[in-house]
Each structure stands twice: as C-alpha cells, then as structure tokens.
Chain A
C-alpha cells in the first residue's frame, strides 16, 4: 500500500515550512546579536548624550537577541530531526497493511508530492517519466554521482522527459500490464532493501525507475548496462557518503578505537632482534590508515579462529600470487588493532619476518640459524606476537635453490609451542613442490585456501581504490570503464588473478589517461591499454563479434578454397555456441576435423584464427604425435616442477585458437584431460591452478578413417552418410570414445579434393609465388595449361594438396632459382612458364 497523505512523513513535509521560518529567525537573531555587540562597543568610545539609556537599550538588544537565537536554534534543530523521522524499512514491507510512504525520506516524499500535484493539474496519471522528471529537476548530489559515472547528461534527459512525460505508458516487459505509482514505490523499496538501507531515498526511486522509465532504460541499454549496474552504483555512492558521514562521528566506537591503546605490551617481553629483522605490520596499518575489508571474509574468520586455538594455531595461507593473501593478513591485523577480532587476538602485534634482510646480513648458514632462532625465541617469549612469513616455500626447501634456505628443522619445535603463533603465506606451486614434502611441518599448520576474488568483489575493490586514484592522477573514472576493465581483463589477461590484474590495469590506465592530459577515463582508454599489453589488435578487441559471426563463411573463404560444407558447419556451430542459445561453460567453440591429409584442415583452423583472433599467430599448434609416452604427458600437462606446455601456452595466449593436430596419436590420458576442458572450459594443472580455456576455440584434427572418405567420394555418398560411417569406424576401432566426440560442438568431415579443387589451389599457390617474385620486380605469367599440368602431376586423393607443394617446388621453384642464380633472369624482367615447365624471358629489364 502507498498513501502519501496518511503518512507521517507527509506531515513532515508540512513542518518543512516551520523549519524554514525558524531557521530564518535564528539567523536574524544571530545577526542582531553580532551587530548589537559591535554597536555597544562603538558607543562606549563616542560622545553620546545619555550613557545610561544607551547602555540599557543595547544590553537589552544583546541579551534578547542572544537568548532568542538560542531558542530558535533549539527549535529548528528539533524540526530538522522531526521531518527526517521516517520508519526504518525491514523485510516485510510488502504486507498490504503497511504504508510504504512511511519509509520515505522527506526529500523523496516532497518529490513524489510534486509529481502527484503536477499530474493532477495536467489531468493524467502519475507515470515513471513524470516522477523521474521531478527527481531530476532539482539538483541531487547522489543522483548526479550515478549519472556522471555512466556518462548520462542530466539536462538532455530532462528535456527528453519534458517532451513525452504526459503520454508515457509504463508497460511491464512481457506481461503487457502497466506500472502504477504503488508499483514504482514498491520497486524502490526493494532497491532500498538490496542496498541494506533504512529509508527509501530519491536514489532508490531512481534505481527503480531505471527498470521502468523508457528514456532512462534506453540510455542504459545504449551503454550496455544491466539493471544490476544501477544497483551497484547506488550501493557505491551510498557507501561512499556513509563512510564520509561516519568519519565525522568521532564519538563512535569504531572511530575512537582508531586511537589504539597503551600498556598492552607491558607484560610482554622485549623483541630487539625480531624488531631489527622484521616489519611491524600493526604499526604499518596504524600509520597508513584503515581500509574497508572486502572479500575473503570466510577465510579471515577461519584464520582468526585458528590463531586463537590452543593447538596447531599456525595458519598456512595458500593461493596464487595476486589473489589477496597479504591483504588478508592486513585485514586480520587491522581487525585485531581495532578490537574487532576475538579478545585473544585483539591488541596482538603482527610482525612480518624480513628473511631477505637476514640472508643478506648473515655471513654463514650458522649465523642465519642463530638469528632466526633468536627471532623465534623472542616471538615465542613475548607472547603478544603473531609472526608472518611470505613465500614460506622458499625457506622450506632443501633442493639447493639459490636465494633459498631450509628452516624447517629450526621452526618445527616453535610451531608446536602454544605461545608461538605463525602465519605462513605460500602459493600452490610452493605447497606442492616443497611444503608437501615436509609432512612434519605441514601437519603443524591449518591450511586455508585463498581463492580468486569474484567479479563483483573486484568491482567493489576497484570502487574502494578509485577515490585515491582519482585524487592522485586528477582524473574522473567512469563506471563504464570499470566494467570494461573487468570484462577485458577477464578475457585477455590470465597471468594474474582477480583482483590484482584489475587493480594493476586500473592504475596503468589512470597513468595513461593522465599522460594524455585528459580528465575522464573512458572505455576506449581501457581498450587501448589492453591492446598494448596483450598485443591483440585494437580492432579485434573493439570489433563487434556479431558481424564476424554473421559473415564467418565469407571471411574464411577469403583464405581457403573449397570445403564449403565443412566451413558452413564450423560457422553454424560457432554461431549457435556464441549466440548463447544453449547454456555453455566450455570454450568459445570446439571442433573435431576429420579427413585425409592435405585437404585443408589446418588451413581452415589458420583462417579461423585470423578471422576471429586477428592473426594466424594467435593459433597455438600442438603436434599430438609428439605426446605418446608417459614422459611426454608430463611435458604436455606438467608436473610439480613445471606447469606444462599446454597451460603455459594458454596462460600466455588466453584469447587464441588451440589446434591439436593428429589427436588420435596422443596418449589416452591427454584425451581424458580434453574431456574436462571441452566440458567445463578449464583444466587444473599439476600445481592445482585453474587454467581458463573459455576464451579459446579448440580444434582437434585427425585423419582416422580417411580411407572411408576416399571410398565414399568415389561412390558419391552424401556427407551425412560419410559422417555416420566414419564415426562408426572410430568407435568400433576404439580410436575415440563416444563421450569425447559428443563433447565437441561439431564433428566436421573434410572431403578429399577433386581435380577442380586442386586447380583452384594451384591458382592460389601461383598467386603467392607471383607476389613473392614481385618483390624482386619480376613479373611471372602462368597459363592455365601449366596449372593443369601441375594438378595432373600432383593429384593423389590420399595426400590431397600436400603433394602439390612438392611438385611446384620441384618443377617451378627449383628452375626459377637456378635461372635467377645463373643470371638468366634478373630483377625487373617479365617471365613466363611454358609447357614442360620451361622458363621463358618475355621482356628484359634493360637491353644488353
């Protein structure tokens, strides 16, 4: 229910007039008071007739105006608070007995009231456009924040609303029913609940209108923004303003606890050696200021619980570099400093051991051990220290790696002591490679996995960083560019996880925008920097994938001839897969190319790489006949020493085409791995790290059963029949398992080439040769007869076009090379190849 008249806030809107008048009176009396004091003093030093009368009147003025000012100050403060007294919204606001108007702030109530009055005057129902108009036509810092971040011009939007607001129909998408004012306020209440707010503010109404009002919807659609994005922006600005206002409330416990405490360490021991070789994280947190903790809350709580345990109270934080392991340690330190953690942890000192300082200052292994032992002894004895060590694996290996040392036997006894609390930070690689080989050490830790931040958490983290970056580089960062950073860094950058890659990118782009002397960070800046970083042509980053998909056949046929059915099948499968008609978690497209050798399987893959990823070099090719033994598997998939060829290539080129040539020859375990990649779009490598294949196209080629294709062509069988026969063949022979074939988006059969096909290929090859010779300014003419001769010589259905390359080499290129070296042909000549592959010079460059 929504009834503004019956709500208390409506009375508040009335009281607003009283507030204004008391405020005016307050100011008047303040001015009179100041002026009368001034006048009083001035009178004392000038000649006046009766000093007594003068003093009496002026003293009256001073005292009267002062106390009147106090009285109106008191009353206006009351009115100010009174009109803001809305009810706090909670979960059951959808109950019919509850008047939603009670949850409005006075600001939003007055805007709605204006909209209702306007609609009544114009004899129309209040619609979303009228409401939006009255929300926008008065300046509002919070709504301006949202509009500016998505680059919507407020004035332009207002003028559009003015034109159509009397005729707007608010229709529900899908049902055809129309929205009433009650529905809009209900949507606003939902927006308030989503941002965990107390009252329905104008920005919540704006958030609701972004789903309903046609002009606003259109503006958001043009910017490819989703409904949730306005919620995110609403949440961002509310959080930011809340943080600012909370910062001013110095009497709140949170602000007071920032002052720290004295005397906590008087009952704890001195730690002179440890202080010398360590960094005091607690002090660092205190000096650098307190930040909002975002993400990894579960892991932080888990780590805190482990640290207060009586036994095995050591934490091993395991995660990839950049997932926020050290930020987690910082968060735990901050919570302990601000007394927000467990009582046992509050007030404890977090100290990070500086191993490199110990290693450089100590002259021998013995000395290292003496210093470390002293540090551990002090930490243990002091009883208020939580020791932190980064790259723990570097110091738990006895494999003689330079710059590393083995402290496992030294630290093990301390790890068993209750007073000694230790946080070790390591990566999965370090864990599998070194720490797991020391089970006696590992058993003393509680392992906590720190996973990559989600996209939403990363957005929140970027939003947290933005005020500092904007201040530092004097730029304005749009929300659109934040979304672009998330989208492109997820797609093109794999060597670092979220949030590190997004934060690094945001900083890089800020430097770039600042260097350009521009003031606003736009999506185009993000694209430019990503393009420079990844060396992917900007056109491919910005181009519309839709157009590529629509013209895919044409684009591929620019590169290869024939195989029309195969190209059509690949194109349609890719369109099906990319238009998200079916839900898909795997790579962008996955294909199995079957057919005899030399029929254009690899060429099609190359063409697809060029069309889709911008260059043939974006194709990563693996000759699977090289990976047949167990040792080869290690090389391909990786082991604890190395992440393997496949993972390396995909991490380096996350946006590429992966070609597995002659897949049937590879080890069965590789085929099993392929099952997971095709299904889920990622593989977990030997050190437990996920490698993402979701931005790749995977093509596997095989010539298994090629004889069937050759025979079928002779018998002029249809493609469907050939495909069925060949699949039956590979299943019966056990070459591929059905579950593998089924996981490909399409199995594409490449036909053997006919003489007509070969003639076209010969034509293409000669064109390439002509282009090469043109660089030497030699003009080559080749007749169709010669091309036919080449086709006749190279025609062999088993080898396809592969034989042609050899024949052209033998008959034409060799003869050309000889003639060129012997001086028969020179630069600038025009030559032709005649019958029997004789080279004729038609025109000399100069007369001898």
Chain B
C-alpha cells in the first residue's frame, strides 16, 4: 500500500517538481544568455558607447549635429537591444509551451499507457 502511495507521490508531485526546476533553470538561462537585466538597464544607452562631445564654443549647427548624432547612436543601441529582447521573449514562450506539454505528457503518461493497452484489445 505504502509502495502505491509512494508511486503516486513520485509520479504526480516529485517528478513534476523536478521538471519545473529544470525549466526554471532554462528560463534563468534565457535571462542570462540574452543579458536581459543588462539590456533593460542600458536600453537607451549609445551603441558601443559611441558619442560625440559638444564643442566648447557655441555653434548652433554643430550642436544640433552632435545632438542628432548622439541620438542616432542611442537609437541603434535601442533597436539592437529590442531585437535581443524579442528573441528572448520568443525563447521563453517556446519554453513555457514546452513545459506545459512535458508536464501534461508526464502526468498523463500512466493513463495513456493503460488506455493504450485497453484500446489495443479493441483492435482484435
């Protein structure tokens, strides 16, 4: 009797917990691999720190030029990082879907096997 209870615990609690833990690691991997925290923190930072300094003497044209150049560097940085964030979201969604499918398959595994065996007799 204890053995059967232990089996139910293992099949429906212990292993699903382990599967969730593995997926948690993979989710963490996504955050780490795509440097999400870093990308969010520096979302609008200039690309590769490329910026132009404003000249000391006042010149309206030159100021505007420097301003737009620096904005352009930031826009490039923003786009590349957004691109990475997009990849990350796709990766994480894919992971979540896989997790749900894996969990369902695992939990239903014994039932599928038993139903399959019953079904096989109908083929005779």
Q: Which residues of A contact B (CB under 8 A)?
A: 15, 56-57, 59-60, 63-64, 66-68, 70-71, 74-75, 78, 81-82, 251-253, 256-257, 259-270, 339, 347, 381-383
Q: Does B10 contact A (CB under 8 A)?
A: yes
A13 to chain B, nearest CB (A): 14
- Cβ–Cβ contact B117 & A71, under 8 A: yes
CB pair A74 B120 closer than 8 Å: no
Extra contacts, 5 of them, besides A74-B110, A81-B10, A270-B50 (Cβ < 8 A), are A63-B116, A71-B114, A75-B7, A263-B84, A266-B42
The number of A-B residue pairs with CB atoms under 8 Å apart is 111
Q: Is B56 an interface residue (CB 8 A)?
A: no
Nearest Cβ on chain A to B80's Cβ, whole angstroms? 6
Cβ contacts under 8 Å, B29 to chain A:
253, 256-257, 259
**Which A residues are CB-close (under 8 A) to B42?**
266-267
Q: Please report whether the interface of chain B is mostly helix, strand, loop or mixed according to DSSP.
A: helix
Query: CB-CB < 8 A to B45: which residues of A?
Result: 266-267
Chain B residue at smallest Cβ distance from A381: B49
Closest A residue to B49 using CB positions: A269
On whether the beta carbons of B10 and A78 are closer than 8 Å, the reply is yes
**A253 and B35 in contact, given A63-B120, A67-B113, A78-B7 (Cβ under 8 angstroms):** no
* B33 interfacial contact with A, CB 8 Å: yes
B123 to chain A: which residues have CB within 8 Å? 56, 59-60, 63
Taking a contact as CB atoms under 8 Å apart, the answer to whether B77 and A267 are in contact is: yes
Q: Using A60-B121, A71-B110, A259-B33 as known contacts, say yes or no to A266 and B81 having CB atoms under 8 A apart.
A: yes
Interface residue? B67 (CB, 8 A)? no
Could you say which of B25, B35, B116 contacts A347, with CB atoms under 8 Å apart? B35
Q: Taking the complex as formed, is B119 at the interface, i.e. its CB lies under 8 A from any CB of chain A? A: yes
B16 to chain A, nearest CB (A): 14
Nearest CB in chain B to that of A382: its residue = B49
A119 to B78, alpha carbons, bound, how many Å? 77
B49 touches A268 (CB 8 A): yes
> In whole angstroms, what is the CA distance A367 to B114 when docked?
80
In the complex, the answer to whether A70 meets B38 with C-beta atoms within 8 Å is no
Q: Check B112 for interface membership: any CB of A closer than 8 A.
A: yes
Chain A CB within 8 A of B109 CB: yes
Complex Cα spacing A71 to B7, Å: 13
| Assembled-state Cα–Cα distance A538/B84 (Å) | 66
Contact pattern, B 75-94, Cβ under 8 Å of A = 1, otherwise 0:
00100110010000000000
Q: Residue of B at shortest CB range from A67? A: B116
Residues of chain B within 8 A (CB-CB) of A268 are 48-49
Is there a chain A Cβ closer than 8 Å to B124's Cβ?
yes
B102 within 8 A of partner (CB):
no
B-side contacts of A269, CB under 8 Å = 48-50
Q: Does B62 contact A (CB under 8 A)?
A: no
Q: In the assembly, what is the distance between CA of A67 and CA of B117, in Å?
A: 6
Is the CB–CB distance between A82 and B33 below 8 Å?
no
B35 touches A70 (CB 8 A): no
B 22-61 to A, binary, CB cutoff 8 A, 1 in contact else 0: 1001101100111100110010011111100000000000
B3 within 8 A of A: yes
Known: A267-B45, A347-B38, A382-B49. A60 touches B109 (CB 8 A): no
Determine the residue in chain A with the shortest Cβ distance to B110. A74
Contact A251 B38 (CB under 8 A): no
Question: Chain B's nearest CB lies how many Å from the CB of A246?
Answer: 13
Given contacts A263-B39, A267-B42, A347-B38, contact A251 B22 (CB under 8 A): yes
- Docked pose: A257 CA to B26 CA in angstroms: 10
| Cβ-based interface call for B11 (8 A) | yes
Q: List 5 A-B contacts (CB under 8 A).
A: A67-B115, A71-B114, A256-B29, A262-B34, A267-B38
- Least Cβ–Cβ distance between B48 and chain A, in angstroms: 6
Closest-CB distance, B28 to chain A (whole angstroms): 6
Expressed in whole angstroms, the Cα–Cα distance for A825 and B25 within the complex equals 98
Shortest Cβ distance from A68 into B: residue: B117
- B117 adjacent to A257 (CB under 8 Å): no
Q: Which of A74, A81, A266 contacts B77 (CB 8 A)?
A: A266
**What residues of B have a CB within 8 angstroms of the CB of A264 in the complex?**
35, 38
Q: How far is the CA of A15 from the CA of B80 in the complex (A)?
A: 58
Interface contact A57-B124, CB-CB below 8 Å: yes
Given contacts A71-B110, A78-B10, A251-B25, A262 and B35 within 8 Å (CB-CB) = yes
Q: A22 CB to closest chain B CB, in angstroms?
A: 12
Chain B residues positioned under 8 Å from A57 (CB to CB): 124
Instruction: List B contacts of A266 (CB < 8 A).
Output: 39, 42, 45, 47-48, 77, 80-81
- Find chain B residues with CB under 8 A from A15 CB: 3
Complex contacts, A74 vs chain B, CB 8 Å: 11, 109-110, 113
Q: Which of B45, B47, B121, B124 has the most CB of A within 10 A?
A: B124
Option from B33, B81, B115, B119 in Cβ contact (under 8 Å) with A261:
B33
Q: How far is the CB of B22 from chain A (nearest CB, A)?
A: 4
CB neighbours (8 Å) of A382 from chain B are 49
CB distance from B43 to the nearest CB of A (A): 9
In the docked arrangement, what's the CA distance between A267 and B119, Å?
60
A60-B124 in contact (CB<8A): yes
Query: When the two chains form their complex, are residues A262 and B113 in contact, meaning their CB atoms are under 8 A apart?
Result: no
Q: Pick from A70, A81, A256: contact of B109, CB below 8 A.
A: A70
Say yes or no: A66 contacts B109, CB within 8 Å: no
B32 to A70, Cβ gap below 8 A? no
Residues of chain A within 8 A of B84, CB atoms compared: 262-263
Instruction: Give the residue of B28, B80, B113 whose beta carbon is less than 8 angstroms from that of A71.
Output: B113
From A67, A261, A263, A383, give the contact of B120 (CB < 8 A): A67
Q: How far is the CA of A268 from the CA of B120 in the complex (A)?
A: 63
Find B34's partner among A63, A68, A263 (CB 8 Å cutoff). Answer: A263
- Residues of A within 8 Å of B119, CB to CB, are 63, 67
Q: Are A267 and B120 in contact (CB under 8 A)?
A: no
* Contacting residues, chain A, for B124 (C-beta < 8 A): 56-57, 60
Check if B32 sits within 8 Å of A261, measured CB to CB: yes
Provided the pairs A60-B123, A64-B120, A262-B84 are in contact, do residues A257 and B48 lie with their beta carbons within 8 angstroms? no
Determine whether the beta carbon of A261 is less than 8 Å from that of B48: no
Contacts of B35 in A (CB 8 A): 261-264, 347
State how many angstroms separate the Cβ of B38 from the closest Cβ of chain A: 6
The chain B residue with its CB closest to the CB of A8 is: B2
In the assembled complex, the CB of A236 is this many whole angstroms from the nearest CB of chain B, namely 29
Q: B10 and A262: CB pair below 8 A?
A: no
CB distance from B77 to the nearest CB of A (A): 7
Q: Which B98-112 residues sit within 8 Å CB-CB of chain A?
A: 109-110, 112
When distances are taken between beta carbons in the complex, the residues of chain B under 8 Å from A259 are: 29, 33
Contacts of B47 in A (CB 8 A): 266
Return chain A residues, CB-CB under 8 Å to B114: 67, 71
- Closest B residue to A251 by beta carbon equals B22
Report the separation of the CA atoms of residues A253 and B7 in the bound assembly, to the nearest whole angstrom.
Answer: 28
